[in-house]
Structure 1
Amino acid sequence: MAGIASTFIDGMQYLLSNGATFWGLLQRHLLLVLISEVVAITVAVPLGVLATRYERAKGPILSLGNVAQTIPPLAIIALAFPVLGLGYLPSVVALFIYALLPVLTNTIAGIESVDEGVIDAARGMGMTQNERLTQIELPLALPVIFAGIRTSTIINVGTAYLAFFIGGGGLGVWVISGINLFNMPQVVAGAVPGALLAISLDFILGRIEGHLGESSPEGTSAVA
């Protein structure tokens, strides 16, 4: 126990003595996660909507998402390297692919969970399909969709450590190079902030998700 505490203290001292480097690595890590997540949302939500509108497209779309999630993250990063080379872009692309499935499946589940009676009421009011989607289905499905975004984001905080292998930077620089060098303070200095980042994002996104869940029934009753 004393050894663990000593290693933790040494890690925090290493972090403080290399503060400028740490902030650069943390910024890069955050950008990797946030940019890949935004791109994943931009792609996955329309694909999820498409899957709910065309039954024939649902199977192939879900299969695409399942394949992306089934492949180990390190393999995705390795596959991105021959196509896009080293650096930031292939890292973002690899993380984007791995982030797709939770957002995609939750978008489909959220839209399909909207009460059919609410849809019929909107249809009876003369709303077009696009109006029903944008004004009824997506707002009511938003808590479920956001839960997928939350899950995807937290997963990518950990997956982003692997970007080190193709020159993507991030906190993985300290963790993985520290393991190779048997430098445990450096490993701790890179791992602890990542864990705190994941916990913080989970808390913030969880609060937003809870707020969306509380406001959703109001929208349902208003339409009905």
Structure 2
Amino acid sequence: MDTFWSFITERYPDILKALQEHLVLSFSSVLLGTMIAVPLGILLVYNRIKWINNIVFFIANLFQTVPSLALLAILIPLLGIGMKPAILALFLYSLMPILRNTYDGFNSVDKGVLDSAKGMGYSTAQSILRIQLPLSLPYIMSGIRITTVYIISWATLASLIGAGGLGQLIVSGLGVNKSEMIFTGGIGAILLALAADGLLGLLEGWLSRRYHQNPGRDAAI
């Protein structure tokens, strides 16, 4: 234990740098995944050509089946090494959970509520923003939270292609047989995942309260 604390004290600038790189990798990927998957999931709900939905879900699910190291290796000839291929790979992994939860969340909204909103003169956009989005928020946030935890874990492999992060401590520790480096990288990733999940839970609660106070939604319901 003394060796561990000595390592933390002596190498904290390197640890902070690795943590910063891990944050950039993880949250850039999740942010990109959310920006793409949520609107895409909404579009699929309103898409009338169902075979298109099947193709989109098949492609998103296909990325989930590719082993992490294999996907990183595939991207190296295209983007080289470093942050870019790592973020792209993690982004591809983030799509399916968020896409599926968004799609299921919007489909779970009672059709009677939507018919009532339509009868009150709500446009499709108003129904989405004032009714479906607030009611499906728990589904969407659940997908984002699960994805974030997974991505933080998977991001440790990004160090193998020179992207840095907490995984670099683990790989370096394995290389020089220093358990304190391995322990620091592993515990850091675990704590980061728990903190991210907690913060997203708080964000979900704040958004739920905000939407609950929306008079447009209450009137529609």
Q: Is TM more than 0.5 here?
A: yes
In structure 1, what is the Cα distance between the partners aligned to 2:183 and 2:115?
Answer: 56
Query: Cα gap change, 1:12/1:59 in structure 2, threshold over 3 Å: closer, same or farther?
Result: farther
Q: Which residue in 1 is equivalent to 2:42?
A: 49
Q: Does 1:172 align with 2:199?
A: no
The percentage of counterpart residues that share the same residue type is 35
RMSD: 1.8
Q: Which residue in 2 is equivalent to 1:3?
A: none
**CA shift at 1:147, angstroms?**
0.8
Q: Is the 8 A contact 2:81 2:162 kept in 1?
A: yes
**CA shift at 1:213, angstroms?**
5.3
Q: Does 1:72 align with 2:67?
A: yes
Question: What code does the residue aligned with 1:101 have?
Answer: M
Q: Which residue in 2 is equivalent to 1:84?
A: 79
**CA shift at 1:11, angstroms?**
2.6
In the alignment, structure 1 segments of 5+ residues that lack a partner are 1-5
Q: Which residue in 1 is equivalent to 2:220?
A: 223
**CA shift at 1:212, angstroms?**
4.6
Query: Cα gap change, 1:73/1:158 in structure 2, threshold over 3 Å: closer, same or farther?
Result: same
Partner SS state of residue 18, structure 1: helix
Q: Which residue in 2 is equivalent to 1:13?
A: 6
Q: Is the 8 A contact 1:175 1:188 kept in 2?
A: yes
**CA shift at 1:162, angstroms?**
0.6
TM-score of the two chains, using structure 2 as the length reference: 0.91
Q: Does 1:123 align with 2:118?
A: yes
Q: Is the 8 A contact 2:120 2:220 kept in 1?
A: no
**CA shift at 1:168, angstroms?**
0.6
The number of residue pairs the alignment matches comes to 217
In the alignment, structure 2 segments of 5+ residues that lack a partner are none
TM-score of the two chains, using structure 1 as the length reference: 0.89
Q: Is the 8 A contact 1:99 1:152 kept in 2?
A: yes
Q: Does 1:38 align with 2:38?
A: no
